[in-house]
Structure 1
Amino acid sequence: MSAGRVPHQRHRLAVAQLLGEDDLFLWPETATSQRAESASQAEFVALYPNRGSVSIDTWASLIDNATEAIDVLAFAGSFLHDAIPEFDERIAAAARRGAQVRLLFGDPEGDAVERRGAEERIGDLLSARCRLTWNYLQSVLGTPGLSARQHNTTLYASIFRFDETLLANPHTYGAAASQSPVLHLRRLPGGRLFSTYMKSFERAWEQATDVSAD
């Protein structure tokens, strides 16, 4: 390849897939606002008016069919244990079949959980929910391929990633996350939505405390 020359699109996409990067990250000079906008729109699959509008079957299917990665970022994510049958065993099974599972839930003693609880006007209830989530997870911590960390991060969205599918649940000030909409995204070359949320997840993950071995 000659220095300063940009590879053909077919080759760029192949290299980007091999490296696990967006082709626009590797060759930013190829970006155009029209192309990026078109690709990002194509990533958008559906909009749910609230989290309850996403069926339990959808959640269960995404977990059970994931073969590469499951990433969860939330404060407590209580609905995962309350509504999805055998949630803990499902994610452990995903890890055992080779998926990288990363669980990122709130630190019950953290400032971020306390602040969010105050914003939702539920006091210490959110902190209690975080403790309950960690209690539930004790049975699967230590499963090979499954990692868990506590975060003390201000969340602007809860993130649920299953391979190339991502559900983003933006947080609304003063309202529970369950009352806010959910964006259903699918990663596509050149799109920006999926990668934007995953970069947010990675930043929160890097700052969090490992509890996998507790």
Structure 2
Amino acid sequence: MSDNLRYALNRARLQPVDLAAALAVDPKTVERWLKGRIPYPRHRWAIAELLNLDETHLWPQITPPHQHISDEVLAIYPHRWAVPHTVWRNLFQSAGHEIGILAYSSLFLAEDAGLLRLIAHQADTGTRVRILLGNPESPEVAARGTEEHIGPHTMTARIRNAITLYQPLRGLTGIEFRFHRTVLYNSIYRADDQLLVNAHIYGTPAADAPVIHLRTGHQDGSAHVYLASFERTWADAEPGT
């Protein structure tokens, strides 16, 4: 029996049927979870997000993937989709000075209204936010679409969609947008001294590629290499309009 899940639901004043409705699953599925069956990852992350808890608190038998490998490497995730939503939220929520996003589209973030509100709130409290997206007209964007086997026009469409979804952030004080024409080998998501680095692998969509969670340490550490790459790309990018 999953006593931790049952206790967490009680504390949140939620009934199993409420959880089933929130996750769009059959109430019998929730009952199986309460009897001890471990949910699929996507459901675990949604439950943890709903209850504002880490999934390991609800299911202690689950070991987070390669957590705290060293002082600099905090975690390695086999795929971007395997990074729990709470990790993204906690990353941006922890920022007090700087948030940086370097990607082609980062559409998965742009589609998350909750994270956009969080980033807007951080900017309102004085955190500098810099968002670097691919120039949708650039040949580098077209080439990346071809490499991912989705076609150049699809990658361009993703970026245009992301630009539209990021619209609530554009024009806000403390938030800057630029568009790059860079061949990216990684997408970088920064919050002060922490980074989530999503590798770009030929023929593999970014969502399926690994993510490394880093914390800056010594000046000769790998995190500073990624930060320097971000700054070079920012300096060469075109200001957003």
For Structure 1 versus Structure 2, the TM-score category normalised by the shorter chain is 0.7 to 0.9
1-structure distance, mates of 2:148, 2:218:
37
Task: Tell me the residue number matched to 1:24.
Answer: none
Q: Quote the Cα distance in structure 2 between the aligned partners of 1:164 and 1:96.
A: 20
Contact 2:74–2:213 under 8 Å retained in 1: yes
Counterparts of 1:81 and 1:140 in 2: how far apart (Å)? 10
For the Cα contact (< 8 Å) 1:88–1:136, is it kept in 2? no
State the 1:191 CA deviation: 4.4
Distance 2:160 2:188 in 1: 19
Residues 43, 191 of structure 1: 8 Å contact kept:
no
Write the distance in 1 (CA, Å) between the matches of 2:122 and 2:110. 16
Q: Which has the higher contact order (CA 8 A, sep 6+)?
A: 1
1:46 paired with 2:75, answer yes
> How is 1:1-214 mapped onto 2 (pairs within 5 angstroms)?
42-82=71-111, 84-123=112-151, 124-211=153-240, 214=241
Alpha-carbon separation, structure 1, partners of 2:208 and 2:192:
25
SS at match of 2:71: helix
Q: Counterpart in 2 of 1:16?
A: none
Letter in 2 for 1:47: I
Could you list the per-position Cα deviations for residues 102-121 of structure 1 after superposition, in whole angstroms to 9, with x for gaps in the alignment? 00011111111100001111
Q: TM-score, normalised by structure 1?
A: 0.77
The TM-score normalised by the length of structure 2 is 0.68
Report runs of 4+ in structure 1 exceeding 4 Å deviation. Answer: none
In structure 2, the gaps of 5 or more residues are 1-68
Q: CA RMSD in A?
A: 1.5
1:140: Cα distance to partner? 1.6
Q: CA deviation at 1:204?
A: 0.7
Q: How far apart in 2 are the matches of 1:164 and 1:44?
A: 12
Aligned residue-pair number: 172
Distance of aligned partners of 1:43 and 1:191 in 2 relative to their CA distance in 1, 3 Å threshold: farther
Question: Structure 2: how far apart are the matches of 1:206 and 1:50?
Answer: 29
- Structure 1: state its 5+ residue gaps: 1-39
